[in-house]
Amino acid sequence: MTFATATQDNQQIFTMQRLFHAQRNEYLAQTMPDYASRVTQLKQLKAALLENKDALCDALSADFGHRSHQDTLLSDILPCVQQINYTIKRLKKWMRPSRRHAGLLLMPAKVEVIYQPVGVVGIVVPWNFPVMLSIGPLIPALAAGNRAMIKLSEFTPQTNQVITALLAAIFDDTEVAVIEGEADIAAAFTALPFDHLLFTGSTAVGRHVMRAAADNLTPVTLELGGKSPTLIAPDADMPQAVERMIFGKCLNAGQICVAPDYVLVPEGKEDAFIAEFKKQFTQMYPQGVHSQDFTSVVNQRQFERLSQWLAEAVQNKTRIDTVHPDAIDLGAHRMVPHLLVNPSDSLTLMQEEIFGPLLPVITYSNIDEAIQYIQQRPRPLALYLMTQDKALQARVKSDVHAGGMAINDSVFHVAADDAPFGGIGPSGMGHYHGKEGFLTFSKAKTVLTKGRINTAKLAVPPFTGWRARVQKLMMAFFLR
């Protein structure tokens, strides 16, 4: 790092710290924004997204080298708009204090839970869905009455420009501020004493984020990833099973934290799976790697990572089937899915989240073996089960841990507005989306209110005379 670059970084870190303190001061001046002001912010955000949807599609395509506009509309813009609509309809109910039971021991009293904004929220955004993963968390943060600082990825500069301009047209920096920069800036960002920090990214970086947050006792929501399995059961109709999972692997060229990372198929059915995958891929993307509806790997660095993992598999004599003759475009860093049959567990692609168009196909002899295969590995962010067997559905739902699950589908469970999204263990912690997002960015504060009558005096010393007799009766009544 040159002296000039270091100086520039220091100036940026100083500006970032100044913005944080400005947001904190403004929050302290207005700690509980009313319903009307929150809804106004959300409506303005929705209008700005719709007004800039074409600019965002163009910018994302420029950042990726090529990204299907439909991918952006479906996975970045649409979920945000739907989430805003859902939130506006339900926000008034979420904001109401909830009445709780005081119980006989505390009577007469009233107990309620009020939902306060936590304060200043930090949001760290990855490169794969920079709109959905910046605006998506911002929606519940604003709905809960907070202010927010957003650290955008350095790998999506064109999209960052549109997002920054979009937000600046609606919000003052003391309401929503956008930060850009590389690893040093990201590290300084996560070290700020936020009231809540939401990070979306890799498990390895998530560990660093959690360490940085721990110094400030900042609560964290970590949306990580991992190796999300697709289990095709023996009873599954293969064309239907492939139909339900192929789009989840091909959307954004598989660069999704909930994309199917590997697929488990019954022994003897791997060739049927591969043939069906090739058939359906060709129907969806007739020109293979040159299809306009198929997205590029985001940059040369990620393309080289995937290429190295593929070369390692070739060297290991792994069977590899490309799903289309036009499979790779080196200059445009584009790659169609490659299916790898029973690759060795020692390969890098079997140890780390793939995050791209490589798909291991693992065969199993019986369903118990398949379930154990999943259970013996780190808990994934998503789990996909292809079966019509109700007993098997119930078994996997109850016995196998994952952040979320879809039966006879893939990826689309994330789009459920009225359900939480989050990981477990190495795939993350905490939830957002829907009401859970509102709760994540709120402090649920219990308030006990008493009037003139104070029964608590019966529980204080000295425990002699009549007090002792009352205490004895109370304990006899309640300790049973």
What are the structure tokens assigned to 297, written together? Answer: 């790997």
According to DSSP, the β-strands at 220-223 and 428-429 are antiparallel
**Distance between CA atoms of 223 and 201, rounded to whole angstroms?**
7
Radius of gyration of the chain (CA): 26
Task: Using CA atoms of 263, 269, 270, 271 in order, give the dihedral in degrees to the nearest 10.
Answer: -140
**Are the CB atoms for 194 and 120 separated by under 8 Å?**
yes
**Distance between CA atoms of 113 and 303, rounded to whole angstroms?**
50
Residue 223: active-site member: yes
Backbone torsions φ then ψ of 248, nearest 5 degrees: -65, -30
CB neighbours (10 Å) of residue 200? 26
What are the structure tokens assigned to 34, written together? Answer: 């009313």
- Given the residues 80, 250, 257, 436, select the one marked as catalytic: 257
What are the structure tokens assigned to 84, written together? Answer: 């805003």
Backbone torsions φ then ψ of 294, nearest 5 degrees: -105, 130
- Given the residues 80, 180, 223, 270, select the one marked as catalytic: 223
- Find the angle CA(356)-CA(226)-CA(288) to the nearest 5 degrees: 15
User: Hey, is 386 helix, strand or coil?
Assistant: strand
Residue 80: active-site member: no
**Are the CB atoms for 240 and 218 separated by under 8 Å?**
no
**Distance between CA atoms of 433 and 422, rounded to whole angstroms?**
9
Nearest to 424 by CA among 187, 126, 206: 206
Residues belonging to the active site: 223, 257
